[in-house]
């Protein structure tokens, strides 16, 4: 058994996603007024946030993965930002609501299947787990998200 700790959160109205804790630097609450919008960016790029005196790009994870943008939900006044770091790059993923810290067996991760996920979404996934209630838990690939070509040109 290869257990690993993951942060779980809601994705869209009914999905659950997880990110490995080892890829998370910090989790913070962000209000829309603290984000400085940047023109001519993809719509899922919310803007820049002052994080510990550095510029942190914030992206709407749901919109990037093909869900309804957070900006169209009533939760937009206060969102949680999950700060990821990889090879000197930082990125903030805005999520609707954090759920819990879960311990999952990473040897049970199933590969992504074309019929389950959109092409846009698949490139950002490690795979998925099935929990005790037979529900799918989407495992995100933080390295793929941070190093995405559509993102890299701005970071």
Q: What pLDDT, in 10s, does the model give residues 4-37?
A: 999 999 998 899 999 999 999 999 999 888 999 9
Indicate if the alpha-carbon torsion angle 143, 65, 57, 153 is positive or negative.
positive
pTM above 0.85, yes or no: yes
| Domain with 127 in it | 3-152
Give the pLDDT mean for 82-95: 91
Q: How many domains does the chain have?
A: 1
Query: What's the confidence (pLDDT) of residue 154?
Result: 53
Of the two residues 63 and 76, the one the predictor is more confident about is 63
Considering only 6-15, 102-111, 144-153, which range has the smallest mean pLDDT? 144-153
Of the two residues 36 and 77, the one the predictor is more confident about is 36
- Under DSSP, the state recorded for 143 is H
Query: What's the confidence (pLDDT) of residue 97?
Result: 85
The set of long-range contacts for 39-48, using a CB threshold of 8 Å and a minimum separation of 24, is 41/154, 42/150, 43/69, 44/69, 45/154, 46/71, 46/94
Task: Kindly state the tokens that stand for 38.
Answer: 């940047």
Say which CATH number the domain at 120 has. 2.40.50.180
Query: What's the confidence (pLDDT) of residue 69?
Result: 87
């Amino acid at each position: 058994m290869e257990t690993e700790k993951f942060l779980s959160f809601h994705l869209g109205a009914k999905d659950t996603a997880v990110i490995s804790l080892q890829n998370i630097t910090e989790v913070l609450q962000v209000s829309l007024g603290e984000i400085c919008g940047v023109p001519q960016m993809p719509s899922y790029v919310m803007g820049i946030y002052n994080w510990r005196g550095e510029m942190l790009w914030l992206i709407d994870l749901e919109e990037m993965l093909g869900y309804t943008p957070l900006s169209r939900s009533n939760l937009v006044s206060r969102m949680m930002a999950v700060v990821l770091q990889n090879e000197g790059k930082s990125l903030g993923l805005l999520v609707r609501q954090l759920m819990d810290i879960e311990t999952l067996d990473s040897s049970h991760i199933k590969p992504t299947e074309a019929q389950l996920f959109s092409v846009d979404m698949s490139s950002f996934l490690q795979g998925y787990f099935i929990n005790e209630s037979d529900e799918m838990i989407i495992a995100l690939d933080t390295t793929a998200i941070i190093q995405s070509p559509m993102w890299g040109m701005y970071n």
